[in-house]
Structure 1
Amino acid sequence: MDREKLFLYVLLAIVTFSVFVIVRPFLEYVLLALLLAYVLFPLHLQLRESVQRRLPSTRVAEIVSAVTLILASFVVLIIPILYILTAFLEDLRLISRGETDLQTALIERKLAEIAGVDVDIQETAGQLTEFLFSVFFHDVSHLIELSLHVSLGVALVLFLVFYLLLDGPALVAWLTDASPLSPGVSATLVDQIDRTTWGAVVGHAFAAVVQALVAGLGLYLAGISNVVFWTIVMMVLAFLPLIGVFVIWAPAASYLFLIDETGSAIFLTLYGITVVSFIDYYVRPIVIDKRARLNPAVILVGVFGGVYTLGFVGLFVGPILIGIVVAILETFRQEYRSSAQPELDTSGDSPGVDDGTATPRSSEVSRTTRASRK
């Protein structure tokens, strides 16, 4: 390696590290923007074609499509979260005032009989409400700082998603051309990453929605009120495997037992252990593994590691990053090891990803990339 290349590599490493340090405070927002743009891009292509029939300019159609999808996604993501938080705080306020439909007196008496502990639910709810307000509002300067950080992060997500929808294919084409890999290897790697990422995202979301709906049906059959609200809550929690919807149906079963609805409590417990857990332990790994070709254990490690490191965004980013590593290794096996050792049989399926057959989505991305390159 000559001095010019060495200097260029060192300079690239220094600049890359500096960019990472700058982006690090908003890294989760950047990853969220990349994820949203990736998921919305197929819808963007279809909506752009529909809008383009009514507008003369292709660029204007792209802008209209991108803005429409961003606004719709913002509503779909923010409204449920605000609804859950508002309803939760309102329920706490009603319980603290004694204006709830919950049979608090019966629950307190039952707890005293079973555990021998006197519990004042109304007082506990009031203390919890005060604690939550103190956490968010006790330090005005911290609240302002947090609000500013979140506002900047949301604005960053909106702008990044907008430009990625418009110029994402051109960016992928540029990265492919700038890669030191050969065009064939780069195309194979892009297809492998696209298939793995799409499978992890779609499979994860599909399993979470199905599990929340099934658990909501169990709550309805058991006689729990506000089933729609709790189903929405479980749709959010179901993205976290193993303990997601359990934190809803298990306390609900306990509540039924405490108010002497023993039959309903036993039904909900058995329903949660068998039907709801079946989706978490079997359906989720099968769906994700079928699309992403990732082992269920890999998905589980990626989810928990991603949540611990990046928060909610890590639910998707963790498995995706592990899937990308598997895709890189699979590409290396197919393109380099097989060519270096042609006498070996490399036709078997990889434990991490499937064969090189491109899915309709990966083929669409490849066509879009080639079109943008032209």
Structure 2
Amino acid sequence: MINLSTPGSEPASSRPGLIDVSLRIGLLALLVYACSRIVLPFTSMMLWAVMLAVMLYPLHLRLAARLGNGWSALLIGMFGVAVLLVPMVIVVTSLGSSLYSLITSLQTQSLTVPPPPPRLADVPLVGGKLTEAWLLVATDIPAVLAKHGQMLRDSARWLVSFASGLAASELSFVISFVIGTVLVAYGKGAADFAQRLMGHVTGSGARGTRLVALMAATIRGVALGIIGVAVIQSLLVGIAFFIIGLPAAGLLTLAILFLGIIQVPATLVTLPVIGYVFVTEATTPAIIFAVWTLVAGLSDNVLKPLMLGRGLEVPMPVILIGVIGGMLVDGLLGLFVGPVLLAVGYVLLMEWMRQHPVDGAAQIDGPAP
């Protein structure tokens, strides 16, 4: 019998039918769905753990040369948890305590406001109006609550809910750092896996390696140069806020952190606070507080050149959207994950857009067959 099939072709009976292909796709989709349901609650923590591992891996390599792989990872994990957890607990506890007292006073209408300091009226332009408004609140709080009480209570409840989310995020931070420490210990294997994965996605091992290096550089640049600087700056300023005894020290410290991440000068918060301290505290402590706060608020000008990655070009709107969107989705953890994740996506998109016109030009300008 003459075989009419072309060389290399499969017999028709051995080809998978439509039902077989559909079953395979359906089983694969079911597996992906089942796995995603398990992994989805830990997505933010895993993302932040990977970012921490990428950021800390160069330090781990230097320590591992002296201490060994395991001891280096353990030291980084213990030191990182202590450095992050202690200030975070102080800030979140202060914020929650202040907000709880505020909402309780609003609900019971027992809120008391001290009279305005005499020196407030001497402030140019706004001193008179601020003194008048402050005096009205201090002397006739029932009338103010009757007029604006519902708005104040709703705002306070939202802030308390937000503070509760911040408290829950503390545990996520600790878990993320623990996972990140484990990833640091297995950094070489994780990097090889990422390169192989990107090689399969892009269809080129060299391009996959280049993209992994680009993502690592972006994560380190944003995590150290933007978030790291903002954390250090907010800690320095927050020390002064807590020592001087500001009523809302936790909330103000969090505001400094937020402004630092979105690249807005901290003086928008520190200058009014310095003015408040000068009209409520003695002259000598106020001067010391002002000097420390101004120096700490301007420390980003020194830290950024030291920590920001060279050649990293991520527009501020990308960082701002990442910060706001991350906080809305994941609370305090999203404040750190959001900007880094969007920055990586933006850099990869720009890399893809730069490559494709070149490939197209090469096809058009190539020799005719």
TM-score exceeds 0.5: yes
Structure 2 equivalent of residue 31 of structure 1 = 47
Is the deviation greater in 231-240 or in 187-196?
231-240
Paired residue secondary structure (2:44) = helix
Shift of 1:76: 0.4
Structure 2 equivalent of residue 194 of structure 1 = 216
Supply the AA of the counterpart residue of 1:34.
V
C-alpha distance in structure 1 between counterparts of 2:213 and 2:332, whole Å:
26
Is the deviation greater in 324-333 or in 303-312?
324-333
Is residue 165 from structure 1 mapped to residue 184 from structure 2 by the alignment? yes
Q: Is the 8 A contact 1:238 1:245 kept in 2?
A: yes
C-alpha distance in structure 2 between counterparts of 1:90 and 1:159, whole Å:
28
Shift of 1:119: 2.4
Distance 1:202 1:237, change over 3 A: same
Is residue 252 from structure 1 mapped to residue 252 from structure 2 by the alignment? no
C-alpha distance in structure 2 between counterparts of 1:226 and 1:305, whole Å:
32
C-alpha distance in structure 2 between counterparts of 1:286 and 1:8, whole Å:
53
Supply the AA of the counterpart residue of 1:167.
Y
Structure 2 equivalent of residue 119 of structure 1 = 138
Shift of 1:186: 0.6
Shift of 1:337: 3.8
Shift of 1:196: 1.6
Deviations 1:78-137 (A, max 9, x none): 1112233456678899999xxxxxx945549977644452428xxxxxxx9xx99xx69x
Deviations 1:24-52 (A, max 9, x none): 3233322222222222211111111111x
C-alpha distance in structure 2 between counterparts of 1:325 and 1:157, whole Å:
21
C-alpha distance in structure 1 between counterparts of 2:209 and 2:91, whole Å:
43
Structure 2 equivalent of residue 77 of structure 1 = 84
C-alpha distance in structure 2 between counterparts of 1:256 and 1:94, whole Å:
22
Q: Which has the larger radius of gyration?
A: 2
Shift of 1:254: 5.0
Q: Is the 8 A contact 1:288 1:294 kept in 2?
A: no
Deviations 1:216-242 (A, max 9, x none): 89x79xxx9369x88976764554436
Distance 1:8 1:246, change over 3 A: farther
C-alpha distance in structure 2 between counterparts of 1:214 and 1:70, whole Å:
22
Q: How does 1:63-102 map to 2 (within 5 A)?
A: 63-85=70-92
Distance 1:237 1:23, change over 3 A: same
C-alpha distance in structure 2 between counterparts of 1:27 and 1:207, whole Å:
25
Structure 2: stretches of 5+ with no match in the other structure:
1-14, 105-112, 122-129, 140-152
C-alpha distance in structure 2 between counterparts of 1:21 and 1:294, whole Å:
32
C-alpha distance in structure 2 between counterparts of 1:152 and 1:206, whole Å:
20
Structure 2 equivalent of residue 328 of structure 1 = 348
Shift of 1:174: 2.3
Paired residue secondary structure (1:292) = coil
Deviations 1:278-333 (A, max 9, x none): 969xx979986854221222222222222222222323322322233233334434
C-alpha distance in structure 1 between counterparts of 2:178 and 2:276, whole Å:
46
Q: How does 1:174-323 map to 2 (within 5 A)?
A: 174-178=193-197, 179-180=200-201, 181-208=203-230, 211-212=233-234, 225=244, 236-241=257-262, 245=266, 248-249=269-270, 251-253=272-274, 255-256=276-277, 258-259=279-280, 290-323=310-343
Supply the AA of the counterpart residue of 1:252.
V
Structure 2 equivalent of residue 372 of structure 1 = none
C-alpha distance in structure 2 between counterparts of 1:260 and 1:151, whole Å:
33
Q: 2:360 aligns with which of 315, 333, 340?
A: 340
C-alpha distance in structure 2 between counterparts of 1:68 and 1:90, whole Å:
33
Paired residue secondary structure (1:119) = helix
C-alpha distance in structure 2 between counterparts of 1:159 and 1:170, whole Å:
18
Distance 1:209 1:322, change over 3 A: closer
Q: Is the 8 A contact 2:49 2:180 kept in 1?
A: yes
C-alpha distance in structure 2 between counterparts of 1:214 and 1:162, whole Å:
26
Supply the AA of the counterpart residue of 1:308.
L
Structure 1: stretches of 5+ with no match in the other structure:
52-60, 97-102, 121-127, 137-142, 346-374
- Fraction of identical pairs, as percent: 22
Distance 1:303 1:154, change over 3 A: closer
Distance 1:86 1:340, change over 3 A: closer
The total of aligned residue pairs comes to: 305
C-alpha distance in structure 1 between counterparts of 2:307 and 2:63, whole Å:
27
C-alpha distance in structure 1 between counterparts of 2:179 and 2:236, whole Å:
35
TM-score computed with the length of structure 1 as normaliser: 0.59
CA RMSD in angstroms comes to 5.4
TM-score computed with the length of structure 2 as normaliser: 0.60
Distance 1:8 1:46, change over 3 A: farther
Is residue 50 from structure 1 mapped to residue 66 from structure 2 by the alignment? yes
Paired residue secondary structure (1:342) = helix
